[in-house]
Amino acid sequence: MNALAAIGEALVLIGTFFYFLSALGLIRMPDVYNRMQTSTKSATLGSLGVMVGVGIWALGTDFGSAAWLTKTVVIAVFLLLTNPISAHALIRAAYKSGIPLWEGSVVDKYREHIEAKAKAPEETPKEGGEE
Amino acid sequence: MIGINIYLALIAIATLLSVYRVFRGPTTVDRLVAVDIMTTITAGLMVLFALYYKRMIFLDVALVYAILAFGGVIAFARYMEGGL
C-alpha cells in the first residue's frame, strides 16, 4: 500500500462516518426542519469525502488512472451543487404545506418576511389599472 | 481493500436508520427527507463498488443515478408545494 491509497482510504473512512452521522441526525432530531438541516449538511460532506477518496485511492492501485479522479470529482461537484437545492425545495414544500415548527423553536424569519411582504402592497397604489 | 468491510457496515447502518425514518415519519416530507438522504448514500455506495469490482463504468451509473434522484426530489417537492 502506497501513500495515495492510504490518503484515499482515510478520506473514505471520514466520508462513511459522516454518512452515519447524517442518518443519526435523521433519527435524533425532533422536527422536519432540524432533521433536514443536520442530515443534508453531513450527507454532502460525506459524499465529498467518499467520492474524492475513491478517486485518490484508485490512483494508488495498479488498475487506476487519472480518469477515475476526474469522474469522481465531477460526481462530487454535482452533488455539492444539487444537495442544497433539493433541501431548499423540500423545506419550502414543508413550510407551504403547513407543517408546524417544533415547540422549542423561537425564530421564524420566513413568516416575518411573508407578513412584511403581504403588508407592503396595500400601502403602495397599484399602477397600470385599466378601466 | 482491508477496511472495506468497515465502510460497508457504516453505510448499512446509515441506510437502516433512514429506512426506519421512512416507515416511522409522521409527515410526508419526513419520508421525502429520508429518501433524499438514502439516494445520496446509494450514490456513494455505487462509487465504492466501482473501486471494489475494478469497473469504471459504475461511476457513470452513479452520476446518472444522482441526476435522476435530484429530478425526482424536485418534482415531489413541487407537488407537495402545490405547484405541479
- DSSP states of B10-56: HHHHHHHHHHHHHHH-SSHHHHHHHHHHHHHHHHHHHHHHHHHHT-T
C-beta atoms of A20 and B10 within 8 A: yes
Cβ neighbours of residue B6 closer than 8 Å, sequence gap 6 or more: A13, A16
How does residue A112 score in pLDDT terms, banded at 50, 70 and 90? Answer: confident
Residue A128 has a pLDDT of 58
Residue B63 has a pLDDT of 93
Give the pLDDT confidence of B53-78 residue by residue, as tens digits.
Answer: 988 899 999 999 999 999 999 999 89
Give the pLDDT confidence of A36-91 residue by residue, as tens digits.
Answer: 989 999 999 999 999 999 999 998 888 878 889 999 999 999 999 999 999 999 98
Q: Which residue has the higher pLDDT, A69 or A105?
A: A69
| B79: nearest CA partner in chain A | A93
- Distance CA(A46)–CA(A49), nearest Å, equals 5
Residue A114 has a pLDDT of 85
Tell me which residue in A26, A57, A96 faces B34 most closely, judged by beta carbons: A26
Summarize the confidence of residues A4-25 as an average pLDDT. Answer: 92
Taking only Cα atoms into account, the Rg of chain A, rounded to an integer number of angstroms, comes to: 22
| Cell triple for A58 | 484508485
Neighbour-count burial for B69-79, b at 16+ CB within 10 Å, e otherwise: bbeebbebbee
Tell the residue number behind the cell numbers 469522474, with chain if given: A71
CATH of the domain at B58: 1.10.287
In 3D space, the residue among B38, B45, B23, B48 whose CA is nearest the CA of residue B69 turns out to be B38
How does residue A98 score in pLDDT terms, banded at 50, 70 and 90? Answer: confident
- Distance CA(A81)–CA(A87), nearest Å, equals 11
**What is the CB neighbour count within 10 angstroms for residue A118?**
9
Summarize the confidence of residues A29-37 as an average pLDDT. Answer: 89
Residue B84 clears pLDDT 90, i.e. is over it: no
| B78: nearest CA partner in chain A | A93
Q: Is B22 on the interface with A (CB under 8 A)?
A: no
Q: Is B64 on the interface with A (CB under 8 A)?
A: no
How does residue A123 score in pLDDT terms, banded at 50, 70 and 90? Answer: low
Tell me which residue in B18, B33, B47 faces A32 most closely, judged by beta carbons: B33
Q: Note whether ipTM > 0.85 here.
A: yes
Q: How far is A98 from chain B (nearest CA, A)?
A: 10
Q: How far is A83 from chain B (nearest CA, A)?
A: 8
Cβ neighbours of residue A34 closer than 8 Å, sequence gap 6 or more: A102
Q: How far is A131 from chain B (nearest CA, A)?
A: 31
C-beta atoms of A32 and B14 within 8 A: no
| Number of folded domains that form chain B | 1
Task: Calculate the CA dihedral of residues A26, A31, A33, A38 and round it to 10 degrees.
Answer: -30
